Amino acid sequence: MGKVKVEYLVFFAMVVLGVCLRGWLVPFVNKGDVLVNGEWSRSLYKEGLSDSYYRQGWTYSFPTQPPLMMLGFWTSSFLFDHRYVLAQMHNTVKLPPADFLVWLNKYGEPLAWRCWAIGGDVLVSFLVYWIVSRIRKNWWWGLVGAGLVLFNPVALFESGVWGQNDIWGVLWVYLAFAVLGRSWGRGLSLVLWAVAVLMKPTVLVLLPLYAVILVKDLLQVESKERRRSILMLILGGTAALVLTVGAFWLFWSGSEGLVEFIIKVLEQRILPSAKGVSRASVSAFNLYSLVFQIDATLGSWGWGWFNLDRWGGVIYGLLAIIVGGRAWKMKGKIDWRELAILIFILAEGTFLFKTGMLERYFFPAFPAAVVMFVLLKGRIRYWLGLQFLVWFVNLWYAFFRRDISWVSYWFQEIGGGLVRWLSLLNLIIFFLIVREVWNFERGWWKGEVKKSGGER
């Protein structure tokens, strides 16, 4: 059996095990956001998409997610409702096994609500495998990277327990970066960005970095090729606009103008959910949780114009300028060794220093952290491993703090408790990682040794 076949078999086995592990977690916890997603899914499938954003009688919450994500929830109920296809297959070829069909009949619906998060984990693992294999030129290291996605406690908890879909939006943004540098990819990347935002708008934190790389990529092409590239961008932008309007059109009742409907849904449903009441930190272990009481201090706290919201915006702007400047200095075509660093710094920096952050808003940095963990050498791996642990604890705390009394007591009530210590640790980890990787033009991925010591 050739090397390629072994590679694919191992990867397939890892994916099956990763999916089964997430399926095993499904029966244990079904509350909170899982039930909200389930209610949306059932209603959209049974009562239709039209005007569902303003349908009455919701038990938990009216729809607040962008249209492609809501369409995904409709698809979840469609898949569960047509599970009989698997029973027909069993009657014909005895696959899948009868025990699985019994399990699916009992737990298949909450599994279907999580299918996008689980599918996102699988596809991101393949993307990481592709990136690492190309750079390392070794399929084994690619499988290590894929495994760090599939079996990472962060991803397992997010998709298998919580059922959140943050990784799904992140996937499309990374693909948008991946196709840049190709004449046909420049237009496609805009479409991929539209898909990402129509799934999870939180990925917009990476837009400044993307814009810099897109412009730089366009300027690097030969003059005779530039006209074609601009044409591809125009076509891609038009396709992205059509996709956006078409996605909202599916939910339009026709009782008002389509543009008016889109603006109303954005202002009354999607944006208020994303922002809510402005607070310094909603449930993120970051700068504001270190200084203020988590979930309590308003983002407007301060003196006039100098409030926390504006300071957070200023810090984000500075991060975007610094990271964009480094991206502009990158030589040649896109190098994922450098790009992963810049994505991590901007995304995790936003999570740590911008107000209104939820515990899940670090996810745009998650695949980049995995790529960095596999590609970098030396002590940086210790900091990244610790980063995964803090991210997981942040998710775990936010999910269980209202249900387990001692979680709230030890993490939050005793003078800030563990929340303050973990917020401080998160900040320290970030600065240590930045210190380790900032001078990437020295060639740290080639094993060069910095003057201060330590393997790169």
Among the ranges 180-184, 325-329, 376-380, which has the highest mean pLDDT value?
A: 325-329
CA dihedral 427, 433, 434, 438 (to 10 degrees): 180
Tokens of 248: 């909202």
Residue 442 confidence (pLDDT) = 52
- CB neighbour burial string for 137-151, b if at least 16 within 10 angstroms, e if fewer: eebebbbbbbbbbbe
Is pLDDT at 222 greater than 80 in this prediction?
no
Identify the band that residue 301 occupies on the pLDDT scale cut at 50, 70 and 90.
Answer: confident
Residue 286 has pLDDT above 50, yes or no: yes
**Percent of the chain scored above 90 by pLDDT?**
62
Element (DSSP H or E) covering residue 302: strand 302-303
Helix axes 115-136, 366-375, angle to 10 degrees: 30
Phi, psi of 238 (to 5 degrees): -65, -45
Q: Which structure tokens are listed for 91? A: 């009657």
Among residues 237, 244, 279, 282, which one has the least CA distance to residue 265?
244
pLDDT tens readout for residues 166-207: 999 999 999 999 998 777 788 999 999 999 999 999 999 999
pTM assigned to the model: 0.91
Q: Where are the chain's structural domains?
A: 277-456
For the stretch 45-77, pLDDT in tens is: 999 999 899 999 899 889 999 999 999 999 999
What pLDDT, in 10s, does the model give residues 105-138? 999 999 999 999 999 999 999 999 999 998 988 8
Residue 390: strand, helix, or coil = helix
